[in-house]
Structure 1
Amino acid sequence: MLKKVLDKRPDLCGYLFIRGFLVSDKKVENLDRFPFYGNWNETEKDGYYFYTHKKAAVHFASDNGVTLFVLGHCYDPFLMEIDEAKILADILKDAGTDKYYDRISEITGVYVTGAIENGKLRFSVDPSGMQSACYGVIDGHFYLSSHPQLIGDICSLEMDDFVKELIRYKWYGRVMGPYLPADLTPFAAVKRIVPSIDYTYADGKLAHKRFWPLVPFEVAEGEEYDRVIKEAADILKKNMELISKKWQHPWISLTGGIDSNTTFAAAEGIYDKFETFSYLSAPKEVPDVEAAKTISEAFGLKHHVYEIPETPDAIADYDIKVEIQRHNSGYVSERKGNESRKRFYLEENCGCDVEVKSWVSETIRAYWYKHYGRKSMPKLSAKLFRNLYKIFIADRKLAHKIDKIFDTYIREFEYEKIPACYPPADMHYNEVTWGSWGGMNISEMKYCFDITFAYNNRKFLDLLFRVPLEKRISDRHHLDMKKYLNPKLYDMHIRVVNMKETDTRARLLNIIFTVNSFLPF
């Protein structure tokens, strides 16, 4: 149905898989037809075809038979470099060695990066999977894409029966919203790329291995804690400087929350390079908007407030755009009306070329501990991962199926190799919740403009895992970074608490979590 509509609406075709990409060893014919409609570019490199939407990019560097690539964008706070080709050229020196993993852990951005050598393709996604990405071998050909549905369209795939069952579950949309568990996508033959995993494709076969986190550490106390805070905050500050140079109109999406407050603090000294914005799409957002105005005015930044229409009537072609959005997400992520209206309205009215967003921060803020009001979590198990994923009290048969999926996932992605100082709940949040729910949401949000995250750097995350758990739960480390980066902002004591973080809500959720943990299987 959507194809028939878009065949007659060339003005809307560019929204299909917007800012997306595809890599394959099979050349795509008829790029002027569905689902590309002439809006994609083709580049051939070493036997692989790279296809990018006109608002996306791919970057290369080659030497001695090795080609490195980045799909998306990145910048390097250790080199202080914003040019992807130059960053890749520097990493190329370490291609084929263990230092390669160390180098890609130094870059910040939203991307898939990889290498081609002698026909073998290796690839990995950014530290928290903010770039939605998936892969599969179908009819003897390799595919890697930003959107599972794009592979589905090209290869005429049908949604997996289990996925159909799961998305019909009445509580599928609860706990972070709709998203699929483990590395699942809508199609059995296509899998999500999991963060911190190095994948290889060679001779028609796929393999993968974990490269982070594998080395234990001592918890940072006293002077070592102070050093960690300063080093991590300096990475954020350098990232904000690089963002200011990489884009012409970088806008910080600002709220009263601790995440965006710290992002804002990291731009101290170069506030003339940024503007800020917030939006009103629901009454609960009013306190955040007021806090953002106060902060921006205190430091002389222009602040934009977008009041999202309460009905679709003010948005042209609303129904068609909703169907494009549903298709782009593979029909596994139905959105509330205010979310859809927000994206369509911002795309038409917002003047930034990149949103500086503050997601990823929650990984080292011990999100699941806050969410359930807990100071500790059960040990690593499929049941733990299932309970963090969704509530299945009402359907134990489905719970059992999810347990089996997570049991395989935990084994195949080597979670037992992760040192105990990296809590399983935090690993779940970073690699499952962010990687699946977050990446898909960001792909939808990129309908409006490009998006970047100063926090999305593996070295940065690794540093802050050294902070004692109780300080991560209390956000002491974020407050200390903010104080170091911008004492004046810190002294304003502005913080709007997320309604999802209230103590009463956490206690009630913890009761459900605990009951769900003790029920059979």
Structure 2
Amino acid sequence: MRHFFVVSGQADDVADAVGRLANYLAGTYGNPVTETHRLGEGDHSLTLLVAGSRKELMPVVCVDDSSGSWLVGVGALLSKQHCADLSGGALADLCRAQRPQDHPVIDQLDAAFCIAAGAVQTGHYRVVTDRIGTQHVFAGAIGQCSVLATSSLALAQVSQPGWNETAVGEFLATGSNYGTRTLFCGIDKLPAASVVSIGPTGIQRQDKYWSIAECDEGSDAPAVEQMASAIKDTIVTATDTLGHPVISLTGGLDSRIIFAAALEAGVSFDVFTTGSTQNADVVIAREIAATHGITHHHLPPAIRTGADVLQRSLLLSDGGQDVIEYARTLQFHEQLCGKFDFSINGSGGEFCKGYWWELLWPRVGARQPLNIAKIVDRRFLVHDWYAALPGTDNRENIKAALIETIRQENRDLQDRPNTMQLDNVYLTLRMQRWQGRIASATGQIWPTVSPFMFRRPMEIAFATVPKERLRNRMSRRLNEYLSPALARMRIDAGGPALPLRLQTAHLFWPSLLAATRKNFGKAGRRLSGGAHDMPQSPQSQPAESCAGLAGFSQVADWRTLKLYDAAALAAFTAPYLAGERPLDKPFGRLLTLEMTARHAGI
């Protein structure tokens, strides 16, 4: 656990709110490490409350007496020394700047982070969020106080808001929330790449300091060479700051790029892969590691989920991620964090691939507005399983909210190529809220780093001409550039990681066969009417393996019963609770909402 809270308002109100938050932390986490910093009095009172499950996980706090400024922050690369370097005059300037989004101190920040900084005795401060919004941070209120928090769940438990019904339906339908929405009324996620000014009455101003529009569209620069150099630099920076990493290695293209870049950078590292012994990722990763003399750690899939694991999953993911699904991830990282200093993964590798661009065919790269309704239907509201629960069948409301969110995120990109517009949808919705929720959760266990999501690799990818990113071209060329021998080794799709050329075509026949089988399978499911089957997790687990379900067997006692038709909910959940259906995503989302309601007391 790792959280900070900034509470501002009138002194007595602030003291009461901080006391309630401290009681919540003690009651939830037992005996966490906490610090309290009181930085104002009277009507301009402000208090920082920081907490961690152990001292090395504590948020960074710097109070500079000479300039009268303070800073609190979290982030994988945000060290005490880094924050000390930021504090003082530069930080005081940021707090006073008329255009804070242009302040040079922001250029010193990269990867996933959030910092809040202000001047002592004013009650006002500014928050800087990372460029993707990976590190989740929320604004809300406790009584008359404005509160900035890294946990919406903690805020909800103390402030007792109502459900945001649109967000509840959105979570059931997609497994995430988007835009600034959370499950709770009056608690909002701060936007990405922003400097947000906050005072005792709440948010006063928001300024964007970065946008995908800044990337030089269609750059003719040698992107592969630049990208390889940028990724190596991020890995060196991370290892210099954090120590010895373990890299997530699979049978795919992205993690192989990270592996090859780490080899080229000359850093020391191990690798790990999750899955069964026969899993293609495990088999291929083991071959790659053995060939290059790197120690490989195989983590078998976690198949049992007790009540304690589910509760840790809920608290880490803040009620914003399927607790059964994330329970697997947290167990893997809990096994690794005692052996290594941090982990590296290939998240964001999609930026090199023109992800979702098939939805633009045959007008890929055209300067025309997106068909937003099509994007929502094909990439967000793919399944309609929740229609079986009367009371949650508000698909049109959810769709309208998603369309408006995308419209707002893309409002300054209407004259840009549709590829950039769709990249921005993927970046600001999928990566910010879904991947960001997982990263924010795992960052509370130990530091995690995603080199593709640092500023320079990200901007290089988005500036590359569309034809160089289509059909994994850039990813394959990166693999070949970094290590031709490694690129010749097979990937999980069956062929090599090399680009497809006349002289390499003979190596691709296994992937051609795999793609043919996959397409026939899709066609068969459509013909059999299976297009809207229940979304199954790749590792959906049998109900009897989840000991944590014991307290949820009586649906009539669920706190969330009021959100649904009671009879429909009982009928829908009965096969899961009886062990007749694997614990898939629909049930995981229902369980997550119920656990959230019980924990928050709403």
**Range into which the TM-score falls when normalised by the shorter chain:** 0.7 to 0.9
Q: 1:374-453 alignment to 2 at 5 Å? A: 376=364, 379-380=369-370, 383-384=373-374, 386-387=376-377, 388-391=379-382, 398-406=394-402, 408-410=404-406, 413=409, 415-416=411-412, 420-421=416-417, 423-446=420-443, 448-453=445-450
Counterpart among 254, 262, 270 of residue 267 in structure 1: 262
Distance 2:319 2:425 in 1: 24
Aligned AA (2:355): Y
Cα distance, 1:189 vs structure 2: 0.7
| 1:358 alignment partner in structure 2 | 346
Judged with a 3 Å threshold, the aligned counterparts in structure 2 of structure 1 residues 75 and 444 are, in CA distance, closer, same or farther, namely closer
TM-aligned CA distance change 1:389 to 1:125, over 3 Å? farther
Match in the other structure for 2:127: 123
1:249 is matched with which residue?
Answer: 244
Query: Equivalent residue of 1:74, what SS?
Result: coil
Deviation at 1:506, TM superposition (A): 12
The answer to whether the 8 Å contact 1:375/1:470 transfers is no
What is the distance in 2 between the residues matched to 1:342 and 1:410? 29
Is this contact kept in 2: 1:271–1:299, CA < 8 A?
no
Aligned equivalents of 1:45 and 1:366: distance in 2?
48
Distance, in Å, in 1 between the alignment partners of 2:396 and 2:152 is: 26
- Number of the residue aligned with 1:37: 30
Q: CA deviation at 1:292?
A: 1.5
Task: Give 1:505 shift.
Answer: 5.8
**Alpha-carbon distance between aligned partners in 2 of 1:352 and 1:166, rounded to the nearest angstrom:** 37
Q: 1:93 to 1:470 in 2, by over 3 A?
A: farther
Tell me how far apart the structure 1 counterparts of residues 363 and 353 of structure 2 sit (CA, whole Å): 13
Check whether the contact 2:146–2:200 (CA below 8 A) recurs between aligned residues. no
SS at match of 2:448: strand
**For residues 273-352 of structure 1, what are the structure 2 equivalents within 5 Å?**
273-280=268-275, 286-312=279-305, 318-336=306-324, 340-341=327-328, 343-344=330-331, 346-348=333-335, 351-352=339-340
Alignment match of 1:229 (pick from 211, 224, 229) = 224
5+ residue gaps, structure 1, are 1-17, 313-317, 517-521
Instruction: Work out whether residues 366 and 473 of structure 1, in 8 Å CA contact, stay in contact via their aligned partners in 2.
Output: yes
Aligned length: 471
SS in 2 for 1:415: coil
Per the alignment, in what secondary structure is the counterpart of residue 453 of structure 2? coil
Alignment of 1:94-109 (within 5 A): 95=94, 96=97, 100=102, 104-105=106-107, 107-109=109-111
Matched with 1:369 is 357
Deviations 1:245-272, CA, capped at 9 Å, x for gaps: 2223311111121111111122124555
Question: Identity of aligned pairs, percent?
Answer: 16
Opposite residue 22 of structure 1, the aligned amino acid is F
Residues 491-510 of structure 1 aligned to structure 2 (within 5 Å): 492-497=488-493, 504=518
Partner of 1:8: none
Q: CA deviation at 1:88?
A: 5.9
Please report the TM-score for the alignment, with normalisation by the length of structure 1: 0.77
1:35-82 deviation digits (Å, cap 9, x = unpaired): 353314224274341413232322437574554543223269xxxx98
Q: How far is 1:216 from its partner?
A: 6.3
Describe the shift of the 1:472–1:194 C-alpha distance in structure 2 as closer, same or farther (beyond 3 A).
farther
Deviation of 1:391 after TM superposition, in Å, equals 2.6
Gaps of 5+ in 2: 9-13, 40-45, 495-510, 533-602
2:128/2:194 contact within 8 Å kept = yes
Cα distance, 1:403 vs structure 2: 3.9
Question: Which stretch has the larger CA shift, 478-487 or 353-362?
Answer: 478-487
**Does 1:195 pair with 2:182?**
no
Counterpart of 1:19? 2
String of CA shifts for 1:81-114, please: whole Å, max 9, x gaps.
Answer: 9844336679649733567466535633321124
Q: 2:369 is matched by which residue type in structure 1?
A: K
Which deviates further from its counterpart, 464-473 or 26-35?
A: 26-35
Q: Which residue of 1 aligns with 2:594?
A: none
The aligned amino acid for 2:357 is Y
**Residues 456/86 of structure 1: CA separation in 2 closer, same or farther (3 Å cut):** farther
**Aligned residue in 2 for 1:519:** none
Task: State the 1:384 CA deviation.
Answer: 4.9
The SS at the match of 1:475 is helix
Q: Is the contact between residue 382 and residue 407 of structure 1 (CA under 8 Å) also seen in structure 2?
A: yes
Q: Deviations over 1:270-311 (max 9, x none)?
A: 55521111122x58x811112212222222221111123434
Alignment of 1:115-194 (within 5 A): 115-117=117-119, 118-168=122-172, 172-173=173-174, 178-194=175-191
Q: Secondary structure at the match of 1:273?
A: coil
Aligned CA distance change for structure 1 residues 398 and 324 (closer, same or farther; 3 Å): same
Partner of 1:113: 115
Q: Which has the higher contact order (CA 8 A, sep 6+)?
A: 1
Counterpart secondary structure, 2:185 = coil
- 2:85 aligns with 86
From the superposition, tell whether residues 246 and 372 of structure 1 become closer, same or farther in structure 2 (CA, over 3 Å).
same
- 1:367, distance to aligned residue in structure 2 (A): 2.1
Query: Relative to structure 2, which stretch is displaced further, 18-27 or 388-397?
Result: 388-397
* Secondary structure of residue in 2 paired with 1:260: helix
Query: In structure 1, the residue corresponding to 2:255 is in which secondary structure?
Result: helix
SS of alignment partner, residue 455 of structure 1: helix
Residue number among 67, 71, 75 corresponding to 2:74 in the alignment: 71
Paired residue secondary structure (1:41): strand
Q: CA deviation at 1:390?
A: 2.0
Residue 427 of structure 1 and its aligned partner are, at CA, apart by: 1.1
Q: What CA deviation, in whole Å up to 9, does each residue of 1:140-196 have, x standing for no partner?
A: 32222222111112222343233344445xxx25xxxx1113221111111122322
CA distance in 2: counterparts of 1:306 and 1:149, whole angstroms: 30
Q: Label 1:238 to 1:475 Cα distance change in 2 as closer, same or farther (>3 A).
A: same
CA distance 1:91–1:219, change in 2 (3 Å):
farther
Query: 1:469 pairs with 466, 471, 491, which one?
Result: 466
Amino acid in the other structure paired with 1:347: E
Asked whether the 8 Å contact 1:125–1:196 carries over to 2, the reply is yes
Q: What is the CA–CA distance in structure 2 between the aligned matches of 1:196 and 1:374, rounded to whole Å?
A: 32
Is contact 2:178-2:405 (8 Å) kept? no
- d(CA) in 1 for partners of 2:332 and 2:402? 38
CA-atom RMSD in angstroms: 3.9
Shift of 1:135: 1.8
- 8 Å CA contact 1:277–1:305 kept in 2: the answer is yes
Q: 1:107 to 1:289 in 2, by over 3 A?
A: farther
C-alpha distance 272-330 of structure 1, shift in aligned 2 (>3 A): closer
Residue 247 of structure 2: SS of its match in structure 1? strand
Distance in 2 (CA, whole Å) between partners of 1:502 and 1:147 is: 42
Note the alpha carbon deviations across 1:399-427, whole angstroms, 9 max, x for none: 33124423553565563357614622211
- Flag the structure with larger Rg: 2
Q: How many angstroms does 1:360 deviate by?
A: 2.1
Q: Which amino acid aligns with 1:301?
A: I
Instruction: Give me the whole-angstrom Cα distance separating, in 1, the residues matched to 2:89 and 2:214.
Output: 25
